[in-house]
Amino acid sequence: KQEVTQIPAALSVPEGENLVLNCSFTDSAIYNLQWFRQDPGKGLTSLLLIQSSQREQTSGRLNASLDKSSGRSTLYIAASQPGDSATYLCAVYSGGGADGLTFGKGTHLIIQP
């Protein structure tokens, strides 16, 4: 069964720093990987979706990479801002229908002003 691990569980950095969030998965046979943002008490907002054939996706200050063979993905946030403070979750889709989507527990990010 697919397992998704996110490290670190929590991270606090000063405003303006570049930072990297990590996501690893145990079964490399995936269709895609998705990064989400979750604000406290809110639902999930999709940030980036990387198909298994892709190496990276970019949106504004966010860049996500995927190394399927090693079971790893990183989310790079450039020039962090206090508004980036949230929990970031990654999820992998391994196929087989709706129950093929596996979420990590998330990284709780705090950007200090």
* Residues binding other proteins (CB under 8 A): 4, 9, 31-32, 34, 41-46, 49, 51, 89, 91, 93, 97-99, 101-106
Closer Cβ to other proteins, 2 or 74, answer by number = 2
* Least Cβ distance, residue 34 to other proteins (angstroms): 7
CA distance 66 to 30: 11
| Least gap, CB of 18 to other proteins (angstroms) | 26
As a whole number of angstroms, the distance between CA 44 and CA 31 comes to: 20
Residue 66 Cβ vs other proteins, minimum distance, rounded to whole Å: 14
Q: How far is the CB of 19 from other proteins (least distance, A)?
A: 20
At position 21, the amino acid (one-letter code) is L
Question: For residues 16 and 95, which CB has a smaller minimum distance to other proteins in the complex?
Answer: 95
Cis-peptide into 8, omega within 30 deg: yes
- For 99: left if phi > 0, alpha if psi spans -120 to 50, otherwise beta; the answer is alpha
Is 41 or 60 the residue whose CB approaches other proteins more closely? 41
Nearest one of 30, 8, 4 to 21, comparing CA atoms: 8
